[in-house]
Structure 1
């Protein structure tokens, strides 16, 4: 066992020997320690970083423990949802609030089941289809403010206030934009475009079209699809 100032430590070479690991995941766990919780080094042995052996062993054992957590395969069984649906909800997490996994092991993500169930119950309420019954009167070329568009759709203005910045599928681009004092933007939409949105709104609800990623991918160890 390697020692440093009288304490037992691991270098990466020690860990590769002790646990039979490849170098790449060891480097990635440390590089992304902000999310992995990997211990900080206690010093160096020669030119190699060294970690307290007991601290590293405890961290690794806890990391490998998935008791009480659920994988995406578990979620398929629990909910009856298709894998593609679960994949899509995860891909749109910045917009739908999908919880982050508690841990990721060997490219498999694991979630807290209570946290995921609470989120999913709310998600279903937010995305279930609400029939729109738009007002069909008026000139199709009229330009409407967002509040006027809401009244045309028969919804509260607050319910679509975020549409200009987080556009649901089918929501039109504004026909005009004016900059108001203090940098606010006033947008106007063609009445005909709002009618078209009401006609083409999908049963899947207001899914966004972008697919962001919150955290860095890391060669198949952290936050990569399982």
Structure 2
């Protein structure tokens, strides 16, 4: 099962509002518990309203909608960033038009023709999130291509601002929010960051090479 399909299945499992253990969900989607934990970290980092912790279980705390997409990653990014800019404008009629357009797009896009990284759309994010994340996109993409370490200043849980050095590995798009999967040198583990919560992203002169245990394939072989 592709990772995007697996994450979709996990959402379906959790949508009943009940508490589900990691072991139960891991067996349902045929992965290890360790991989399941990473999947839940990804969903939580991307803004899906999932609460829970390892050893206890997970549940969705509010309703979400999952209309599918048909656009490529770049097309969808351009469209949503355009709507984000318009929605933040002072002209109330333009704001209303941007929201109406988003609703129409959400309602009519068919399934099965979407890019792998755009398996579904979470219609739960304000447009301003896309606008905030846009400033860092070129830096993050260039660092992934060049295998260049980054220093991120990040707004983490609990309203804490943290600074850490990371190896950027992969970006995914979740409707109006991008996430960045990294190897975090502070935690010595993989971490998933919401791009719109990154305050500063600075490319460092230090490059990195693939090392066992720190590669994208070690995080998820299906990516």
TM beyond 0.5: no
Q: Which interval holds the TM-score relative to the shorter structure?
A: under 0.3
Larger radius of gyration: 1
TM-score (norm 2): 0.25
TM-score (norm 1): 0.25
Give the structure with the larger strand fraction.
Answer: 2
